[in-house]
Copies of this chain bind each other. A is one copy, B any other.
Amino acid sequence: MENIKGMKRTRYCGEFRPEHIGENATVFGWVQRMRNLGGLIFVDLRDRSGVVQCTFDEAINKELFDKAFTVRSEFVLAISGTVRSRGEGAINDKLPTGGVEILADEIRILSKANTTPFEIVEDSDVNDVLRLKYRYLDLRRPDMQRTIALRHRIAKIARDYYDENGFYEIETPILTKSTPEGARDYLVPSRVHPGKFYALPQSPQQYKQLLMLAGFDRYIQITRCFRDEDLRADRQPEFTQIDLEMSFVDVDDVIAVNEGFIARLFRDIHGIELERPFMRMPYAEAMDRFGSDKPDLRFGYELKNISDIVANTEFKVFSGAIEAGGSVRLINVNGGGATFKRKEIDALGEFVKTYRAKGLAWMKFTDGEMTSSFAKFLSDAEIAAIKDRAQAGDNDLILVVADAKDDVVFASLGALRCECAKRMNVIDKNDYKILWVTDFPLFEYDEEEERYVAKHHPFTSPRDEDIDLLDTHPEKVCAKAYDIVINGSEAGGGSIRIHDSALQAKMFKALGFTEEKANEQFGHLIEAFSYGAPPHGGLAFGLDRLVMLISGRESIRDVIAFPKVQNASELMMASPDVVDEKQLKELHIALDLPEKE
């Protein structure tokens, strides 16, 4: 193979423009394609910035022409020459470099290439397994190049912004300790301490609070976190958080700083000036209006409670749900009357069943006529009241869920409104609706454990005005917790922490911890707080999620260079894998395999 000795890149391939005509150019890259037009060879050379056409003219240099004729797709080349105009008819408007070409006077073949298992082009429909096995080829595709470059840019803006605002990036350990509550830990056997294990962190939560106790005042870290859970489509066993914590703050301070970051991102990347302050919505309102704690505000279809209207109806599906302590709520899919045929409405009925709803009632107004699955059971007055509550007019579709559990009504209608919006195609992809959801409940009742558990974690502070309710009505206590929601996705969340030992003790008591159990599990933290603790709070953004939201990518795998698949394996390196018996011996562990595996 030849080498690049004496050659220096003058520009990346994608940067050539008409103003560079006449320049001497040297480019390095991969052959996108080679075309021989008889006497003229065109080599499209690609690097991370784009593609430039390099031209070899047989009449000018036969030897060079012949050499160019030997190249194939994905060969790696160094080409020198002169930038010239493509001339009238040859201009390619679709290509940023389409007005010019490089008339080559040198070509070096730096590496040959076998035929790749798939073509390196934008948006190819190659299957995922092949893409991930040959990830280094998949990443050559322009859309993947752009996404990974954007991810770098987002992380860089985060670091710049928080640095400018006085945050120190401080690294916390990856080899740390298994935590008793929360998701399943990845464990790492210790060779030096037989029978003991490190755990990979689910988040640096405890460390960042200790950094506040240590007086660092403002901490940030873009860091890997680990959860050994059964993967959903949008989860990875290792994922990246923009994790931060601040001292001497309350809710408004944390929100203000982080709002600034999101505004900066949208300004720098999309050129969008977001209106500030962002909207804030209490959790209770978000559930009531949108059936979700991460409402997508780019469209309407808000939930309406019609329990008062149908509480005494003879239709038992409705009145029974209310009697059992639940509710009856609807959404009005404006304009959905024509779009959704009977069959599609039946499909929506199946859809809500995945959220444990027992069924979907509907009412539709088309061409002045009303059809409905349930109207026949209701009085005219009840129907009129429902139509009025839904503000339904001609061509609208009302969808109703009734259940003895509010949770089920919210979850199913919350998901349904998003699903309908998608099918109605009412979502503007270039619109960004951002809000803070605040005042989450501090506790949720764990039916299995028959006690209240912390909705976030046991160090989350209650609202000042709710502290007295801790002993008497824990279910009514709201937390100083906040999530930032972008277009219906949770981009980040956090809380103010408890820094007062007396309040922390009250909290443990509400969670049903004895003093002994609290000390056993959190003794080192409780002790740490006894040496002078500042008020503090923080937040973590999911970087993968942020990149998805900003790039418009729909799969988390597309925003991570080397992602894992649903069964937590990585296809390119083929990890995890078996290891030597000797390695296990050194770690004082043995395999304990399920039978017949």
Binding site for B on A (CB under 8 A): 1, 3-5, 9, 12, 28-31, 46-48, 74-76, 78, 110-114, 116, 134-137, 139-140, 145, 148-149, 151-152, 155-156, 159, 163, 168-178, 184-200, 206-207, 210-211, 213-217, 224, 226, 228, 230, 237-238, 240, 247-248, 250, 464, 499-500, 502, 524, 528-535, 560-562, 564, 567-570, 572-579, 583-594, 597
Contact, CB under 8 Å: A169 / B156: yes
How many angstroms from the CA of A207 to the CA of B238 in the assembled complex?
16
Q: CB-CB < 8 A to A152: which residues of B?
A: 163, 168-170
3 closest Cβ contacts across the A-B interface? A113-B532, A139-B214, A177-B575
How many angstroms from the CA of A188 to the CA of B532 in the assembled complex?
37
A213 touches which one: B136, B176, B240, B583 (CB < 8 A)? B136
A215, A217, A250, most chain B CB atoms within 10 A: A215
CB distance from A452 to the nearest CB of B (A): 23
Contact, CB under 8 Å: A145 / B215: yes
CB distance from A543 to the nearest CB of B (A): 9
Contact, CB under 8 Å: B561 / A531: no
Q: CB-CB < 8 A to A217: which residues of B?
A: 12, 47-48
A28 touches which one: B5, B237, B534, B587 (CB < 8 A)? B534
Contact, CB under 8 Å: A175 / B592: no
CB distance from A222 to the nearest CB of B (A): 9
A238 touches which one: B174, B247, B576 (CB < 8 A)? B174
Contact, CB under 8 Å: B226 / A175: yes
Contact, CB under 8 Å: B192 / A5: no
How many angstroms from the CA of A529 to the CA of B74 in the assembled complex?
11
How many angstroms from the CA of A218 to the CA of B577 in the assembled complex?
30
Contact, CB under 8 Å: A174 / B200: yes
Q: CB-CB < 8 A to A238: which residues of B?
A: 173-175
Q: CB-CB < 8 A to A200: which residues of B?
A: 174, 188
Contact, CB under 8 Å: A139 / B226: no
Contact, CB under 8 Å: B562 / A173: yes
How many angstroms from the CA of A111 to the CA of B530 in the assembled complex?
8
A114-B530, A500-B1, A532-B113 known; A174+B211 contact, CB < 8 A: no
Contact, CB under 8 Å: B576 / A193: yes
A159-B159, A171-B561 known; A194+B579 contact, CB < 8 A: no
Contact, CB under 8 Å: B215 / A46: yes
Q: CB-CB < 8 A to A578: which residues of B?
A: 195-197
CB distance from A193 to the nearest CB of B (A): 5
Contact, CB under 8 Å: A573 / B176: yes
A178-B579, A187-B587 known; A224+B169 contact, CB < 8 A: no
CB distance from A495 to the nearest CB of B (A): 16
A200-B188, A224-B174, A535-B3 known; A524+B574 contact, CB < 8 A: yes
23 A-B contact pairs sorted by A residue (CB < 8 Å): A3-B464, A28-B534, A48-B216, A75-B532, A76-B532, A111-B534, A113-B530, A114-B530, A135-B214, A140-B215, A145-B215, A148-B216, A156-B159, A156-B163, A173-B238, A177-B574, A185-B583, A188-B188, A192-B569, A196-B577, A224-B224, A524-B574, A589-B589
Contact, CB under 8 Å: B175 / A575: yes
Contact, CB under 8 Å: A585 / B592: yes
A187-B189, A533-B76 known; A178+B577 contact, CB < 8 A: yes
